[in-house]
Amino acid sequence: MARLQIEAVSKRFGATDAVRDVDLDIADGEFMVLLGPSGCGKSTLLRMIAGLELPTSGRILLDGRDITELAPQQRDLAMVFQSYALYPHLTVERNIGFPLKSRRLPRARIAERVAQVAATLELTPLLGRRPAALSGGQRQRVALARAMVRDPGAFLMDEPLSNLDAKLRSATRAELIGLHRRLGTTFLYVTHDQVEAMTMATRIALLNDGHVEQVGTPTELYDRPRSTFVAGFLGAPPMNLLPATVSERAGRLRVGAEGLDAALGIADTCGDTAVTVGIRPERLRIDPTAGDLRGRVRMVENLGSEELVHLDLGMRQICARVPRPAGVVAGTEIGLSVDPADIHLFHPESGLRMKWHGAQPVRADAEPDHAEADVSVAPSLS
């Protein structure tokens, strides 16, 4: 059992606000991923939960109990680091058993528990080896086994896969998902890798400069980013974001910019309103006849399965991810179409997602997170 509640936690290092007023409620059994660019405060937040760092302010609760100032070994949590931190002179068996030995468990009990965990992680044949004789992936599994051996209430992991090569990383991702399912234990997992976050998380907390930008399922963050930061962080290539204007034509709303003139699927009236428009590359279709967007092809990238078509839209550039072969040639002008439901609108200054209340755009920050209110006018834009 481990529910983790982070309440208004901040951490300041001299003049640096590493973590700013973070609130997070992590349910028992969740796989919560702390995602964000380098330096946004992920490790600091995790280290405070582990007890390796004291918050400047705020509280941390484990199953309702305040653990903010408790020593690391008094918390029912196990931490796995990017560097595996194995003891080089000890065998795999003794590395895994170390946390139990330091708790003075009987030797037979330790051996039994180590054998159990080793079997779960397919480490049994390696128990007699030393870390130097293991591959990166095997070392990572030993580090994981050492964390599991105590049967902790929750696992805290800080970029545990970043030292592995791409193929092993993908295999280990799948292993971690399986492990989480089998154990049903709470996982709190730090990464800057959006693929890890999207594939493993039950929920993602996306951090930006020390604060939580959005919390939600991978689908929620991808499909309904609450700001341009979230929109631009998730997705490869990321969402196209352009300054644009929403205006009315014969009682219908459209969004326009140089090379862009697309219906929003909303019957309404309004004066011209500045916005940032967002469209995911995979939501654009090449459309020789019509074209909500028209631009000149700058370059086509062949990804094997698909192609990335980079276009100049006036002074701006956008990218479309289309099935191969797209049959377009650099230097030619092409049209692209997009469904109204795939057009996102953000406030041009705050960057926050906009809702469309009647004729007036309303800043998304006036609404509670994930509010589904007022969708009658514009379900796709709410």
Ligand X SMILES: Nc1ncnc2c1ncn2[C@@H]1O[C@H](COP(=O)(O)OP(=O)(O)O)[C@@H](O)[C@H]1O
Residues that bind ligand X (CB under 6 A): 13, 16, 18, 36, 38-44
CA angle 378, 380, 382 (to 5 degrees): 65
Comparing CB distances to ligand X, the nearer of 42 and 347 is 42
CB of 235 to ligand X, least distance (A): 20
Measured CA to CA, the distance from residue 7 to residue 275 in angstroms comes to: 34
Asked whether position 227 contacts Mg ion by CB under 5 A, the answer is no
Cβ distance to ligand X smaller for residue 201 or 277? 201
Cβ 48 to ligand X shortest distance, Å: 10
Contacted by 140, from Mg ion, ligand X, none: CB < 5 to 8 Å by type: none
Q: Does 44 bind Mg ion (CB under 5 A)?
A: no
Which amino acid appears at position 166 of this protein?
A
* Residue of this chain nearest to Mg ion (CB atom): 43
Q: How far is the CB of 354 from ligand X (least distance, A)?
A: 29
- Nearest residue (CB) to ligand X, 10 versus 44: 44
Distance CA(138)–CA(122), nearest Å, equals 9
Output the smallest distance, CB 43 to ligand X, in A.
3
Question: CA nearest 19: which of 226, 190, 230?
Answer: 190
Whichever of 44 and 273 has its CB closer to ligand X, that residue is: 44
- 95 part of the interface to Mg ion, by CB under 5 A: no
In total, the chain counts a number of residues equal to 382
Q: Which is nearer to Mg ion, 43 or 194 (CB)?
A: 43
Determine the interface stretch with Mg ion among 22-30, 38-46, 171-179, 365-373 (rule: CB under 5 A).
Answer: 38-46
| Tokens describing residue 333 | 């002008």
Burial classification of residue 13, based on how many CB atoms lie within 10 Å of its CB (0-12 exposed, 13-18 middle, 19 or more buried): exposed
Q: Under 8 Å CB-to-CB from 112, ≥6 apart: which residues? A: none
Q: How far is the CB of 42 from Mg ion (least distance, A)?
A: 5
CB of 16 vs ligand X, minimal distance in Å = 5
Distances (CA, A) of 344 to 194, 277, 308, 315, 381: 20, 6, 21, 21, 6
Contacts of 2 (CB under 8 A, 6+ apart): 28, 62, 63, 76, 77, 152, 153, 154, 185, 186
Non-local CB neighbours of 371 within 8 Å, separated by 6+ positions? none
Q: Which of 43, 138, 194, 240 binds Mg ion (CB under 5 A)?
A: 43
Nearer to ligand X, 34 or 300 (CB): 34
Q: Which residues bind Mg ion (CB under 5 A)?
A: 43
